[in-house]
Structure 1
Amino acid sequence: MEEVVYTILRTVVSILILMTCFLWFGKQINSHINLYNFAFSITLGSFIANMGFDLKLKFLPMLTAFLTLILLFFSFSLISSNNRIFRKWLSGRPTVIIDKGKILDCNMKKIRYTLDDLNQQLRELGIFDIIEVEFAILEVSGKLSVMKKTKYQNTTKQDFNPTIKNNDVTIPKELIMNGKMIEKNFNADYSNNWIINQLNQRNLELNDVQYAVISSTGTLFIDIYHDKLTSAIDLE
């Protein structure tokens, strides 16, 4: 009877600790489905199971190991939020599968991704004819993101105004992230001097910019660190 009560107490305490942790960073895990978070979630589950049911293991050492794991996850998250290189190493990078309607066999072989996998994920997105696809990117979560060719895209209000219609679409190019330029994405049209000129026109410094990207239709989007909102919406 004593063992039963002890097991119940261990289980209750373990679940409470787990729920507290997930209230703290659960949104981050759910929104960033990658190999690192997947492995972390499995490890957390193993710890909680052992803490709750394995009476051969002492509870306090298991709790110490569990909290150490939480601390490591928090530290890695903090570092990766401020370091793009570390973030890529930790979370992985998406892979382009189709570029301008052409299937990239070399990229598929690198990640051991087959044509059957591609066709299955396209069908799950409601695309049964691969000829409709302009770009396809396999995200680190394993999900396939697709941009259709212009003539296969759904009609929008913009399509009824030919003066603002733009049929030339490309993959968006990130030019600035976390106040640092992404040099590899610069080209003849979007150069270092061009983006500096765009910032000067907006009275902005490079350190002011959190994110700058050229959209699929060639429009420049800039987001700064301090948005100066007078009334921000809080959904918490």
Structure 2
Amino acid sequence: MRILDHLWISILRTIVSYSILMIVTLWLGKQVNGNRNYYNFALSITIGSFIANMGFDYKLNFFTMLAAFLSLICIYFIFSLLSSRSRILRKWLSGRPSIIMEQGKILDSNMKKIRYTLDDLNQQLRQQGIFDIAEVEYAVLEVSGKLSVLKKERYQPLVKKDVFPANIQSNRILPIELIMDGVAIDKNFHEPFSNQWLDQQLKQRKLQMKDIQYAVISSNGSLFVDLFADGLTSPTDME
């Protein structure tokens, strides 16, 4: 009889724990599912441990585990809220991408810092269908562990603008972020993209820095600006 009681208790705890997990996952959104940074990955592992113990270990008090689980979720939510408002905190919590290749050159010093080997690089290039490293212009290792690659222009797929030779540029650069969340990223300013150049660009567009959510120099050297006020009366919602 005792074994049967434990069986039903375990089933009931599992159902409740799984239901709580589904509610929390829907509330937190896609960030946890993607494991895009360090604390998302840590949270995913910890949530799995909590749910397993809540569901199967009947020796542990369910409500004590539930309280600890909800406390963890609250801590995560607070850190997510703070990091969304602070670029410095976001850098420490989420980490930063690492440039592995620049202008076709392998940056071995950057690779050593993150303990990333040539075998790792070649493997991830092959997974993207790149078997010749000479095709790569830029390679960036994202915080998620995935490798983002920009091929040299002569190896890129043909698009409409390539039909017109005047649009083809021989020199491409890695995008340079100048403004994020209304704050200038001072370390990224250098010639020809100086503070004075940016001020001139903003004056021409009749914009102020506090109104800009994101400004970046794209790979073709043009300035992309996105405002806090999108001006969309009915934005598309895919949820």
Question: Over the residues paired in the alignment, what is the CA RMSD in angstroms?
Answer: 1.1
Deviation (angstroms), 1:31: 4.1
Q: Does 1:93 align with 2:96?
A: yes
Q: Percent identity?
A: 61
Secondary structure (helix, strand or coil) at the match of 1:146 reads: strand
Give the paired residue count.
236
From 60, 77, 83, the equivalent of 2:63 is 60
Q: Does 1:227 align with 2:230?
A: yes
TM-score of the two chains, using structure 2 as the length reference:
0.96
Q: How does 1:33-182 map to 2 (within 5 A)?
A: 33-182=36-185
Match in the other structure for 2:12: 9
1:88-122, Cα deviation, whole Å (9 max, x unpaired): 10011111111111111111111111111111111
TM-score of the two chains, using structure 1 as the length reference:
0.97
For structure 1, the residue ranges without an aligned partner over 5 or more in a row are none
Q: How does 1:10-29 map to 2 (within 5 A)?
A: 10-29=13-32
Report the Cα distance in structure 2 between the residues aligned to 1:128 and 1:25, rounded to whole angstroms. Answer: 38
Deviation (angstroms), 1:32: 5.0
Secondary structure (helix, strand or coil) at the match of 2:174 reads: coil
Secondary structure (helix, strand or coil) at the match of 1:97 reads: strand
1:50-102, Cα deviation, whole Å (9 max, x unpaired): 00110110011100000000000000100010111111100111111111111
Report the Cα distance in structure 1 between the residues aligned to 2:93 and 2:118, rounded to whole angstroms. Answer: 27
Match in the other structure for 1:218: 221
Secondary structure (helix, strand or coil) at the match of 2:29 reads: helix
Question: Amino acid of the residue matched to residue 145 of structure 2?
Answer: G
The 1:87/1:117 distance shift into structure 2, 3 A limit, reads: same
For structure 2, the residue ranges without an aligned partner over 5 or more in a row are none
The 1:31/1:195 distance shift into structure 2, 3 A limit, reads: farther
From 183, 188, 193, the equivalent of 1:185 is 188
Report the Cα distance in structure 2 between the residues aligned to 1:4 and 1:32, rounded to whole angstroms. Answer: 34
| Equivalent pair of 2:35/2:41 in contact (CA under 8 Å) | no
Question: Which piece of structure 1 moves more, 154-163 or 72-81?
Answer: 154-163
Question: Amino acid of the residue matched to residue 226 of structure 1?
Answer: A
Moved over 4 A (4+): none
Report the Cα distance in structure 2 between the residues aligned to 1:59 and 1:91, rounded to whole angstroms. Answer: 32
